C-alpha cells in the first residue's frame, strides 16, 4: 500500500474517550486528510465490531489505510487493509500467515531491539511508545522520551509511528526526532472539532518534515 | 469430522466458574470420554487465548472435537476443528468463507425457524437454548422447555445440542426429547471432580439413547 509512505497524523479510535463517536471521528479525520485509521475497540460484540469496521472501511475508501487493532477475525471479515498488533495479541508470524503478504501489519515496540526484531519478522511499520508519560490504557507508565525515536529510526527502514502522551505542544520534538507519523488519541477524539484538530496536527507535522528535509 | 455423529456430553469451558481451571477441566472431561470441547473465553488477551487454545487442541488430539467460541482468529491461529458462534458473533456466511468447507461451525438458535435457517446457511450443528430457566450469562432468562427440542429435531437433519440450565436431574427429559448432545456448564466445571461428573452425564445420555433407539 503506497499510502504508507505518506502517513503523517495517525488516528486510533477510542469509543470510551470519544465525544462524538467512532464513526464521526473517522469521517472528520479522513476529511481533514488523515491517511491512516486504526479501529481499536475492546468492548463490543464481534458482530457490532464487524458492522462498525465495515462502515469505517467505506469511509476510508482509497483515501486512508484502514487497520484493525488486535482482531484479525474482524480485519479478515471486512477485508481491511491490515492490522495493528501489540505484545498481548497474536504473534506476528501467525498474523502474517492468516492475512497474506499484501496486508499491512503494524507492531507495537518499546525499544530498538524490539523494533529491529519487528522489522525482521515482517512488520510494515512499528508503533513506538510510550514517548511521554501517560496514564491511559495500554503502554501506560513512564515515557521513553523523544530522543529514542531517532535511535529506532536509524536502526530500521520501515516507518516509525510515535505514540503515547503526544499533544500539540510536544509533537514538534517527536517529528524533529524522526517520527514518520504520530498518534495523539485524547488530543483529537476528546475534542469538539476532530476535523480541525487533525488538520492542525497534519499542518505541524508537514511543516517540520518539509523544513528538515534536504 | 465423523466424531460429530458420536457426541453426547458437550463441554463448554468457563474460566469464571471453573474450580480447577480450564485446562484441567478439558483434560478431565476428555479423559472421561467427552468428544466435543468448546473453548469460551471472554476476558483474556488474544495471545493468552491462543496459548490456551493450542494447549486444548493438544489435549483433544483425535479424541475430541475442539471448537472455539466466537473468535475465528483464535480458531484459525491454532487450526481448531471449528467454531461455535452466537447471534452477536460473526455472521455464519463470513465465518464459513474464512474457515473453509471442512471446518465445523455450530450456531446458537432459540427456536425452529432459527434452526432451519442455521441448517440452510451451512451450520454443522445447532446449539438450542435456553432449555430451562437460567440466570447465567448468555441466553439467560426464561427456558423454552424440553418439549421444543423434539420440534427442532424434527425440522432439521444436523445434530441438536441442548444448552441452558441443564443438570443431572433434568437432563433425562432433554435426551428423551431428542437432543443429540447437551451442555451443563456449572454442573460440571463447578464440581470438584470434573471427570466423574462428565462420566455420569455420558452414562445417563448413553443409557437413554440406547433404550429409545429401535
Ligand atoms: Ni442467544
What's chain A's average pLDDT?
95
- The cell 483529537 sits on which residue? A188
Longest dimension (CA), chain A: 49
What's chain B's average pLDDT?
95
Instruction: Kindly report the CATH number assigned to the domain that includes residue B160.
Output: 3.20.20.70
Can you give the pLDDT at residue B107? Answer: 98
Can you give the pLDDT at residue B141? Answer: 72
| Percentage with pLDDT > 70 across chain A | 97
A 73-102 residues inside an 8 A Cβ radius of B? 73-74, 76-77, 87-91, 94, 98
Q: What is the ipTM of this complex?
A: 0.93
Residue A90, min C-alpha distance to chain B (Å): 5
| B38 phi/psi in degrees, rounded to 5 | -115, 120
Q: What is the mean pLDDT of residues B204-211?
A: 95
Q: What is the pLDDT of residues B12-58, one digit of tens each?
A: 999 999 999 999 999 999 999 999 999 999 999 999 999 999 999 99
Residue B125: name the closest of B84, B95, B155, B94 by CA.
B84
Task: Please check the confidence at residue A135 and state whether its pLDDT lies above 90.
Answer: no
Q: What CA–CA distances, in Å, run from A93 to A75, A138, B125?
A: 16, 22, 32
Can you give the pLDDT at residue A141? Answer: 72
Set of chain B residues whose Cβ sits within 8 Å of the Cβ of A72: 73, 76-77
Note whether B88 contacts A47, CB cutoff 8 Å: yes
The SS3 assignment for B108 reads strand
| Percentage with pLDDT > 70 across chain B | 97
Cis ω for the linkage preceding B162 (within 30 of 0): no
Q: What is the mean pLDDT of residues B87-109?
A: 97
Q: What is the mean pLDDT of residues A1-13?
A: 94
Residue B213, min C-alpha distance to chain A (Å): 40
What's the domain range around B42?
2-212
Note whether B73 contacts A71, CB cutoff 8 Å: yes
Can you give the pLDDT at residue A140? Answer: 59
Can you give the pLDDT at residue A113? Answer: 98
| Percentage with pLDDT > 90 across chain B | 92
Number of domains in chain B: 1
User: How far apart are the C-alpha atoms of B24 and B194, rounded to whole Å?
Assistant: 9
Amino acid at each position: 500500500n503506497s499510502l504508507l509512505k505518506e502517513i503523517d497524523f495517525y488516528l486510533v479510535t477510542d469509543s470510551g474517550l470519544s465525544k462524538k463517536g467512532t464513526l464521526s471521528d473517522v469521517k472528520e479525520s479522513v476529511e481533514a486528510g488523515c491517511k491512516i485509521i486504526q479501529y481499536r475497540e475492546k468492548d463490543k460484540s464481534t458482530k457490532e465490531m464487524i458492522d462498525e469496521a465495515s462502515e469505517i472501511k467505506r469511509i476510508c475508501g482509497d483515501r486512508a489505510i484502514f487497520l484493525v487493532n488486535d482482531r484479525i477475525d474482524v480485519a479478515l471479515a471486512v477485508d481491511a487493509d491490515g492490522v495493528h498488533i501489540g505484545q498481548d495479541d497474536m504473534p506476528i508470524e501467525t498474523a502474517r500467515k492468516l492475512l497474506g503478504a499484501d496486508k499491512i501489519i503494524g507492531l507495537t515496540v518499546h525499544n530498538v531491539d524490539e523494533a529491529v526484531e519487528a522489522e525482521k519478522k515482517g512488520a510494515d511499520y512499528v508503533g513506538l511508545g510510550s514517548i511521554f508519560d501517560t496514564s491511559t490504557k495500554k503502554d501506560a507508565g513512564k515515557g521513553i522520551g523523544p530522543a529514542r525515536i531517532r535511535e529506532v529510526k536509524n536502526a530500521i527502514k520501515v516507518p516509525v509511528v510515535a505514540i503515547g502522551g503526544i499533544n500539540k505542544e510536544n509533537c514538534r520534538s517527536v517529528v524533529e526526532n524522526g517520527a514518520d507519523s504520530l498518534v495523539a488519541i485524547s488530543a483529537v477524539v476528546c475534542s469538539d472539532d476532530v476535523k480541525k484538530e487533525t488538520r492542525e496536527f497534519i499542518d505541524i507535522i508537514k511543516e517540520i518534515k518539509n523544513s528538515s528535509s534536504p
